[in-house]
Structure 1
Amino acid sequence: MLDMKLLRNDFENTAARLKTRGVKEETLQEFVAWDEKRRALLVQSEELKKHRNDVSSEIALARRNKENADEKILAMKEVGEEIKTLDADLAEVEEKLNYIAVRLPNLPAADVPVGLDESDNVEKRKVGTPKTFDQEPKAHWEVAENLDILDFERGAKVSGSRFVYYKGLGARLERAVYNYMLDLHVYEQGYTEMITPYIVNDQAMFGTGQFPKFKEDVFQLAGQPLTLIPTAEVPLTNYYAGEILNQDILPVYFTALSPSFRSEAGSAGRDTRGLIRLHQFNKVEMVKFSEPEHSYEELEKMVGNAEDILKNLGLPYRVITLSTGDMGFSAAKTYDLEVWMPQQAMYREISSCSNCEDFQARRAMIRYRNADGKVQYLHTLNGSGLAVGRTVAAILENYQNPDGTITVPEKLVPYMGGVTTITK
Structure 2
Amino acid sequence: MHPSPTLSRTRGNLALLALFLATFVLGSTELVIVGVLDLIATDTAVTVSSAGTLVTAYALGLCLGGPALTAATIRLPRRTLLWACMLAFLLATLAMTVTTSFALLLLARAVAGALHGAFVGAAFAAVGAILPAERLGRGIAVVLGGIAVSTAMGVPLGTLIGRTLGWRGAFMVIVAVGAVVLAGLLLLMPAIHASAGGEAAGLRSQARSAFAPRVLVMLAVGVLLLGGQFTVFTYITPFLLEVTGISDAQVSGFLLAYGVATAIGTFAGGWAADRNASRTLLAANIVLVLALGLLYLTGTIPVLAAVALLVWGLVGFGLVPALQYQVATLAGPARDLAASLPASAVNAGIAVGALLGGWALTGSGLSAVVIVGLLMCLVCVPLTWLTAQWTAR
What's the TM-score, normalizing by structure 2?
A: 0.24
More helix by share: 2
TM-score scaled by length of structure 1: 0.23
